[in-house]
Amino acid sequence: MIISITGTDGGGKGAVVGYLVERKGFVHCSARALWVEEIKKRGLEVNRANTRIVANDLRAKHGNDFLITEYARRTGFKPENNYVIESVRAVAEAETLKKYNGLLWAVDADQHIRYDRIQSRASELDRISFEEFVRQEDLEMNDPDPHGMQKAKVIAMADILLTNDGTQEELFAQVEAALKKFFTTQ
pLDDT, one tens digit per residue, over 25-54 is 999 999 999 999 999 999 999 988 899 899
- Computed over every residue of the chain, the mean pLDDT equals 93
CB count in 10 Å sphere of residue 73: 9
Query: What's the rounded Cα separation, in Å, for the pair 144 and 139?
Result: 8
Highest mean pLDDT among 112-121, 146-155, 157-166: 157-166
Residues 6+ apart with CB under 8 A from 124: 46, 47
Across 105-119, average pLDDT: 95
pLDDT value of position 125 = 67
Percent of the chain with pLDDT over 90: 82
Higher pLDDT, 186 or 172: 172
pLDDT value of position 58 = 96
pLDDT value of position 186 = 42
